[in-house]
Structure 1
């Protein structure tokens, strides 16, 4: 097939369609959607349907752009009040936890090179492989939790979100530093490595915070007549934060996450639409990124390293990650053992390790292809074992409570975050009409108002004499959550909202 714009769009649209179809199927059965995106890429790749894609530089570029969007969107969705109680734990897990995971994994890999014939990697390359796989991915974790209707206790969700959103910079620093150590002919002084690490982390944090504040300020000052351009403006800032920070030799990934965190917790016009825009763009970025990574790998090259990959993957799941988490969380005595164990189990390897595995390929590190295939294999193993079992583990450890699945809104209305009123949709039952079927006879509190009724396919605004039927859907607005709960009780409905 000739490479033309039309054929590229045709193939791209088909890949996206099959990815979304696979993701929808996986969502039902609790299979990580990211794993399915990888499989779609592998099926359409050079050893599948013959789509040729073998450029690690291009895959790396796609991964960096996608990670910027994903980390920025994750920061925007994180609330200060949610992460404040667990900020210390999250930061320690994202730094010390990653470092310990890298050390334990590297030591095990080096031990394997002394035991398994033919598996010969120098110590610096073993350290590099352990560092590449030291960070976690939370995107598929919470997709599974939502699909299974689970809600985590003990602030575990914000803790895992903070860790996964901020641990990529640590793994990136370890990866880049070790590549420099391997590729440098002369002796690289240890103090320079430590100084470079702290410089990049501090610069990345400061750049993200200051540029995030600048973006929030400009969003308040700018008055763009075309409202649809506001998300584009923030997207431009997302890429600018990464590029500027990288230009001054800071950690761009950390800057992007902190910038998103600062912007997401600021007030500006069209905030809801901006968040919805980035939510959709984040999913698109994940799909494209995993498709590209799936296309890049040759499945036949995974079999020769399957045995080694299986040993390393099981070691990381059973020993390296749990031991690193337990040691990192020792100072926090109030955290329950069940929460610690669950945190250690949610150590999914996702897009980031595979993207980091392209850096040795691009830099020309010896045996880089072996490293890439091992990382890819372990990512699949992690998604299969940990990704599919997270809801079961959460229930067994009693760190989750059942969460009701909410139906799609019929009215498609939502308030600004500045408005403290509560809004809900209720279905009328016979108990709700026990005093009569007119609006004036329905026992509503003074602080609650029915603003719209849906009956069949029609919508209308009710009046005092309007007759309400069983099965009608009411859009109700109350002053606050307390009044809304009272409304549910008066209507004879479950007040657990």
Structure 2
């Protein structure tokens, strides 16, 4: 018995190490990390090295714990400014978008697989949410810089749509198990949704407050504190679920609340949670890979790929287009958000629920969900960077590489101790002085420490320690960063001219021969840009005003435009080989035209 235990531990450790080392391949070749984790599990499973694992209940249990850890960290790492910037469209996508995607997918699955509409919608709910782990990693490692509004939308949507998909899946599993039809999804389901989400939100805020209070008021050993915080988050997840709420929403909201309180030990917590999140992802993906049996894929491979293509090219784009209409997103932004709808571990995890409920379609649905996830990662995950460039949604780098280390101090909510390594070609290496308000206190050069006042001109390789307010690190980053490489089209990105943001917008309209609406004629250029961009302008944002396009070059800490460019040749939005609906009526007309073409009618 002990020999078997050691072998299990050894095999499990080796699999975790293989998955961890596979991240090096992902960073180097742009491979979706989740795909590599799943591949390690498949390779080690029953059709690979022969490891037998068929405990669906254990896999679901482990997956839920791992997802709770991932969602808590996702909320903790999300700045509240990012959340405010994209909360409206993101939450709309996470709720209405998931429901719309599930319905459209269900109709197609009903026709393709010959199942009932309820079963088709169940499969749609299983694959209806985007995977937070896959989206976060790809956005971080793809080497592209997206406009803040689009990046924020993608991150918040992927972090908040799991509770909706989980609720729909559980409700539809129960409806199918009872043998009812679509008509059984009535008031009880609607009330259940508001109950789960309402309890999840309330308990999440209460839990976030409790966790923040615990960190600030109680004296706990630094090494023990992160473990206690994770334990409290999991306890909140379990308690919320036990009383009928959405535990996943609760841990995300708790993380969002606690992570934006400026806690004094936030740096330690973030480092620990980064490691825990990586471990949770690896364990969850490996378990799900081991649970799959690729030999059963042959009968559902073609239908699974067809369903994946319908999801990628039809269901999600329609749902996203309709959801984003009220928020003024441009066509290219809508198309990109549709494309970054990666399916991942959550879809496979939800596919276990029909197995646990003993549904007749459970085995078929699990295999189909697995094929859809693999297709999504291969097709969407590997093309993320190229699609973003094709749609011209990337922005030039503001600064080049930088080496910075955050050091924690007591009372760190009010001040920070940062250490910068001086890199070749940076402004400070070429003679720029560090501002006095940065309080530079120590320089380490060639292993010797000295006061900043006696160090003379900073040299590449020096380490500089500065004691500053949390407001100022972005300003210092520019001083210590190496020059950003300038691509051929970067200089053209911000337009042919620079315009004064404080000048009257009406003067611009008169100069270039277009009319402004009456309510915009008394605005400054900066105010007009902010109004057109929904009140949250950010670096690289563009807005079409009359016959010209205004581009945000710089913003201050209050989010006001301080520098803007002007392009006389606006970026065209008619680049797509297919039309994008501008509203519900337009979407319906496009569907009718497509159906006529398929049926061969004029």
Distance of aligned partners of 1:447 and 1:377 in 2 relative to their CA distance in 1, 3 Å threshold: same
1:52 deviates by 0.9
Structure 1 or 2: more helix by fraction: 1
CA distance in 1, matches of 2:478, 2:126: 53
Distance of aligned partners of 1:203 and 1:481 in 2 relative to their CA distance in 1, 3 Å threshold: closer
Distance of aligned partners of 1:103 and 1:228 in 2 relative to their CA distance in 1, 3 Å threshold: same
Matched, 1:338 2:326: no
1:216 deviates by 1.5
Distance of aligned partners of 1:331 and 1:194 in 2 relative to their CA distance in 1, 3 Å threshold: same
Distance of aligned partners of 1:468 and 1:252 in 2 relative to their CA distance in 1, 3 Å threshold: same
**Structure 2 partner of 1:182:** 176
CA distance in 1, matches of 2:430, 2:19: 49
RMSD of aligned alpha carbons: 2.9
**Structure 2 partner of 1:79:** 79
Equivalent of residue 318 in structure 1, options 300, 313, 318? 313
Q: Does the 8 A contact of 1:110 with 1:123 survive in 2?
A: yes
TM-score under structure 2 length normalisation: 0.74
1:357 deviates by 0.2
52-61 or 141-150: which moved more?
A: 141-150
Distance of aligned partners of 1:131 and 1:148 in 2 relative to their CA distance in 1, 3 Å threshold: closer
| Unaligned residue ranges in structure 2 (runs of 5+) | 487-553, 555-602
Secondary structure at 1:348's aligned position in 2?
Answer: coil
**Structure 2 partner of 1:438:** none
1:7 deviates by 1.4
**Structure 2 partner of 1:439:** none
Q: Does the 8 A contact of 1:427 with 1:474 survive in 2?
A: no
**Structure 1 partner of 2:392:** 398
Matched, 1:426 2:422: yes
Q: Which has the higher contact order (CA 8 A, sep 6+)?
A: 1
Deviations along 1:402-451, one digit per CA (max 9) or x if unpaired, are 44674655x6646745327876432356996778xxxxxx7554445554
Q: Does the 8 A contact of 2:63 with 2:349 survive in 1?
A: yes
Equivalent of residue 197 in structure 2, options 194, 197, 201? 201
CA distance in 2, matches of 1:172, 1:431: 51
**Structure 1 partner of 2:462:** 473
Q: Does the 8 A contact of 1:220 with 1:268 survive in 2?
A: yes
Q: Does the 8 A contact of 1:177 with 1:193 survive in 2?
A: yes
| Unaligned residue ranges in structure 1 (runs of 5+) | 114-119, 436-441
Matched, 1:374 2:368: yes
CA distance in 1, matches of 2:356, 2:474: 58
Deviations along 1:178-212, one digit per CA (max 9) or x if unpaired, are 11111115784611122112111111111111122
**Structure 2 partner of 1:130:** 124
**Structure 1 partner of 2:134:** 140
CA distance in 1, matches of 2:138, 2:351: 26
CA distance in 2, matches of 1:173, 1:267: 32
Deviations along 1:204-256, one digit per CA (max 9) or x if unpaired, are 111111122122223222122x2211112211111111111111111111111
**Structure 2 partner of 1:32:** 32
Distance of aligned partners of 1:407 and 1:303 in 2 relative to their CA distance in 1, 3 Å threshold: farther
Equivalent of residue 322 in structure 2, options 327, 330, 334? 327
**Structure 2 partner of 1:218:** 214
Secondary structure at 2:223's aligned position in 1?
Answer: helix
CA distance in 2, matches of 1:495, 1:452: 30
CA distance in 1, matches of 2:426, 2:50: 61
Q: Does the 8 A contact of 2:135 with 2:154 survive in 1?
A: no
Q: Does the 8 A contact of 1:445 with 1:487 survive in 2?
A: no
CA distance in 2, matches of 1:430, 1:141: 32
Equivalent of residue 460 in structure 1, options 449, 452, 455? 449
120-129 or 80-89: which moved more?
A: 120-129
Q: Does the 8 A contact of 1:427 with 1:471 survive in 2?
A: yes
Q: How does 1:246-257 map to 2 (within 5 A)?
A: 246-257=241-252
Secondary structure at 2:395's aligned position in 1?
Answer: strand
Q: How does 1:42-61 map to 2 (within 5 A)?
A: 42-61=42-61
Distance of aligned partners of 1:446 and 1:483 in 2 relative to their CA distance in 1, 3 Å threshold: farther
CA distance in 1, matches of 2:272, 2:250: 20
Deviations along 1:300-326, one digit per CA (max 9) or x if unpaired, are 111221100110001111111111000
1:4 deviates by 2.8
Deviations along 1:107-147, one digit per CA (max 9) or x if unpaired, are 1111213xxxxxx4232211111111100013223322332
CA distance in 2, matches of 1:174, 1:431: 54
Q: Does the 8 A contact of 1:445 with 1:486 survive in 2?
A: no
